[in-house]
Every structure is written in structure tokens, then in C-alpha cells.
Amino acid sequence: MASDMRPLNSQEGQICGVSDQACHSKSKSDNDGKPSRAKANGVSSLSGSHNDVKFLKENSGACNLNSDHANPLSVDGAKVSIARSELIDSSDDDGCLHVVNESCMTCDDLFQESDREQPGGTLEDLFSFNDEEDDDSDWEPSARLVLNKWFCLNCTMPNMEEFTHCQNCDELKGSVVVGYDAFKAHLAQAALLSADTALPSVSTAVGFDERMLLHSEIEVKPNPHPERPDRLRAIAASLAAAGIFPSKCVMVPPREITKEELLMVHTSDHIDSVEQTKNMLYSYFTSDTYANGHSACAAKLAAGICADLASLIVFGRVRNGFAMVRPPGHHAGVKQAMGFCLHNNAAVAALAAQRAGAKKVLIVDWDVHHGNGTQEIFDGDNSVLYISLHRHEDGSFYPGTGAAHEVGVMDGQGFSVNIPWSRGGVGDNDYIFAFQHVVLPIAAEFAPDITIISAGFDAARGDPLGCCDVTPFGYSRMTSMLTACSQGKLLVILEGGYNLRSISSSATEVVKVLLGDNPIYDTGATEPSEEGIQTVLQVLSIQQQFWPVLVPSFASVLALQRSVFNKYSE
């Protein structure tokens, strides 16, 4: 352990916009009007020690592997790219990942397994990259590693060796996540929600299981994958530091979703292909969507937690809930895994809510990427209303779907509502403006029995993939606005978000709202941007034919657009 182990002050990050670093996204174009490098709020959850042995064991994979280009393997009809296809044998003594009796081992057992000495890697192993091209990629590192660069743990961006702080988020070089152990120590003390648990009339349930931390990219690469276990550790540490966990929440007992439940969302071939990954050391569904021997278990736990939280909320056992889960899910479609997602957690939760008695379900997706999988699953279903706010840029931003004219098919026409931002840098004012004029009027008319938020925090200030400017205030305000949509029956499911400080502070403010706190106050509220007004007006012009309640909003926003145009043309 380093002798200078100390917590950092809450360092303020900067919005993605450093001139020599492109966003980690499919869109390669510079965006006119991108805001300057503004400061980000955040709960400090990082420490300036790079020699935390436990951190290295948990994040570098159970063994060093050659990063030879993977060969495609067809698994039950799905293309899975694997780098090593030997079955995972529990009798191995090389420290690799194990499957015991085809079920998940506990985290402590697996971490003990990884204590054994690991084989070393060559420089070629460490610095080679998978060059497979895949137009499905949501993650394109801004620079190939050279020996004089280091990658920031907080935001994953590369920096030149001479810098002591990240040039994107200002994080100290060599920082590691701290505070998770405090959260872990409270897990055994947390009140578990069971059938006979006596609960207060107002309560919030949290879903989490440590085994989801075992889902990680095993192939040795010098650059960290954005979707990494530290995302959950950072949020958990922040909740513990804020005094939210365990004193103010109950825990839902984790369980793995059943195949029968998954078959309501995905094809049998897709489910089997994800399940097959437990027999592989590591594998790839797309160039950016990885799996290891524990990913199938993690994905089933995530879906099971979301399903049970949705059911408990509909039954009235708890008022609302926060699913602190990974891998994320909103890109996973009927028959494919993509965009870091294996099973569609929000879709599973929506159908579980309907089995529990909810007739109408609202899904609001504020992840910076369009939830193409969720839209596909409910495209023709008028009992599930899907509203997505996302960066789109005429289809050039990943995954390319989610244009305003995508409104659903057949009976589902009008039940897909897409609010596609035309540029990066979109912040609180545009999001809240869209909520006021599109999201809330439609939601009130729809009158859902439960609202599910696909809560990606990659539109947050400083995120390396989203490059937008939503603050913790923005997320707390949007959460508060949605509490009225279904009598407070609200389930928040973690999706994306890759700046550890941003996701931890934003998620904490969202959970505070679930607990009944008022949104944090923002003193700098201003009008929406011209581009934001134009996007909302476009959506209103299309959706008002399905939702007549939007006609007054359309007239109001049209008048505002004319006013703004006149002001700037004078």
C-alpha cells in the first residue's frame, strides 16, 4: 500500500472538450456550439494510491492473457467472438476464473482464487489491440496507447505522462476508488425485504449484489473499458458516504432471472448464447460488448433484481426503488447483445410490473444513447410507453437509431417518443425544457401505473462517451418531475455513465429524491438553447397527431422559437 494513501478533495472535473482528445463515441465530428470546459460537481470517491493490491486483483482479470485476435464462433445461432474457448475447469490451479457446479461463486471465494501468482505478459500482450472493425462499436478510444501515456481511472481518457492530473476531468494520476469497503461492511446490516418484513409506509428499496462486480473485460488491454466494475463501487461508496445506505433503505434479496422470464423479452438463441459465455474465459458479442465466465450470472442477477423491484413497487411493498446493477441493458434487443448490454433490464422490469398488476408502464430513458433494444421490444405495444432523450445528430451518434419520426408500429404508433439532440454539450436547461413540453404532458395523458427510468448518467458533465453537460441538479430535478406520473411508483435502473465522479454524485442525488428530499437548487437556470428548442419543436410537430394534449405545447414552443430568432436577428 502506498505510504501517501489519502482521500482526495472533491476535485471538480471538466466537460469533455479537451482539444487533443476526441469523445469516446461513434460520432467523430466536432460539434459547433459545444460548451466550454465547465466544472463538474461530484462526491469524492477516489484516492491517490496506485498500488492498492486488492484493486488490481479485482480489475485486471484473474489471469493475464494473450490478446491475439479472436476467432468468431457460432454459439446457438449467435456470433460470439472468443479468444480462448477452453471450458472453465474448477480444478485448474492457474488462478483463472472458475465455475463451480454451474452456479456463481461468492465474491470472497473468487477473490481468494485470484490471490495465486499470475503468469506474466509480454509487451506485445499488453499493448496489442483488437483491430476487428464493427460498426456496432459504442467505444472508440481516442488514442492508441504509446509508452508515455496513462489512462485516467475516473474517466478512462488518455493523458501524456508528464501530466499529474487528467486533462479531461482533473483527476489525480494513480487514483483508485475508496469508500466501497464502508458500503460492503454495511451489507450484512441492511434490512432485507422479505414477504413478512414490516416496513414503514414510505420506503426505498435498493437492489445490488457483489457478483455483478465480477463482470469485467478479461482480455489484457492497456486502456480501461468504460463499462467497468468500479462504476458500481463508486456509486456504492457515495451512497454510504451520504448516509443513505443502509440506514435509509431496504435491500431487495438478489436472485437470478429465470429463462422463462427472459423468454418474454429475448429469443431462446440469444438467452442461450449469453449463458454459453460462462464456459469461456472471455468472449465478445461485438467489438465492445464483452463477457467472461461470470457475465451470464451478472446479467441474470441484474435482470432478476430489476424484475423483483418492479413487482414490489406495484404490489405497494415499497414506494420506489434503485437498481444498482450492471451490465446495463437498454441496447439489448430481442435477439442481440450490443453496446455493453446483455439482457434488457428495463424491459424485463416492465413485463414483471405487468405480471404484478400494472396495466400501463412508462419507460423514460435519459441515457445519452438511444435505447434501441427497449424500443424494438415494445415497438408495437401500446401498454408500454417508451420516451427517450438522447444524442442523435442525424443518426451519426451511436447507435444511430431514435430519430423523431420513429414513433412505433401498428398498435404501438405514438408509444415510442424520441427526443433526438442534434449536437453534443446538451445540458440541464434543454432536458428540463423537453420534460416540461413533451415528457410530462404525454406521461400525464398516458397515466402509467409505474414509471421506470433507464438512468444512464453518460449525459453527465465530464463523461468521456456522452460529452454533454447534465449536472446532478438536472438529474435530481428530472427524477422529481417524474414522481408525479404514477403516484410515486418509480423504479430507477442504472444504465450507462463512465465518469466515476459524475455517476456517483448524480446517482446519489437521484436516490435522495426517491427518499423524499427536494431537488438540489440550481442558481444558474437559463433558457434552453436554440438547438434544444428546435429539437423539441420537431418532436411536438410529429407527436401531436398521436397526443393532442401536445397542441398547446407546440404553439407555445413555436412562439418561443420565433422570439429567440427575432432577438438574435435584430
Which residues belong to the active site? 331
Distance between the two ends of the chain, CA-based, in angstroms? 63
> Which of 100, 201, 222 has its CA nearest to residue 151?
222
Gap between the Cα atoms of 354 and 370, Å rounded: 24
Angle between helices 180-187 and 230-241 (to 10 degrees): 80
Q: Report H helices in 193-336.
A: 230-241, 259-262, 268-276, 295-315
> Which of 176, 143, 139, 169 has its CA nearest to residue 158?
143
Rounded to 5 degrees, φ, ψ at 48 are -85, 55
| Strand pairing category for 490-494 and 361-365 | unpaired
Q: What is the CA radius of gyration of the chain?
A: 22
Contact 366, 478 (CB under 8 A): yes
Residues shown for the chain: 570
Residue 412 is placed in which grid cell? 404501438
CB burial string 398-423: b at 16+ within 10 A, e below:
bbbbbebebbbeeebebbbbbbbbbb
Gap between the Cα atoms of 233 and 156, Å rounded: 16
| C-beta contacts of 381-386 below 8 A and 24+ residues apart | 381/411, 381/412, 381/415, 382/408, 382/411, 382/412, 382/414, 382/415, 383/354, 383/359, 384/350, 384/360, 384/415, 385/360, 385/361, 385/415, 385/417, 385/442, 385/443, 385/446, 385/448, 386/415, 386/416, 386/417
Gap between the Cα atoms of 366 and 364, Å rounded: 6
Q: Is 531 exposed, middle or buried (0-12, 13-18, 19+ CB in 10 A)?
A: middle
Q: Give the DSSP H/E element, type plus range, for residue 110.
A: helix 107-113
SS3 per residue for 246-280: CCCCEECCCCCCCHHHHCCCCCHHHHHHHHHHHHC
Residue 30 is placed in which grid cell? 466536432
Which residue type sits at 339? G
Q: Report H helices in 356-427.
A: 372-377
Contact 258, 308 (CB under 8 A): no
Q: What share of the chain is helix, strand, coil (3-state, %, to 5)?
A: 30, 15, 50
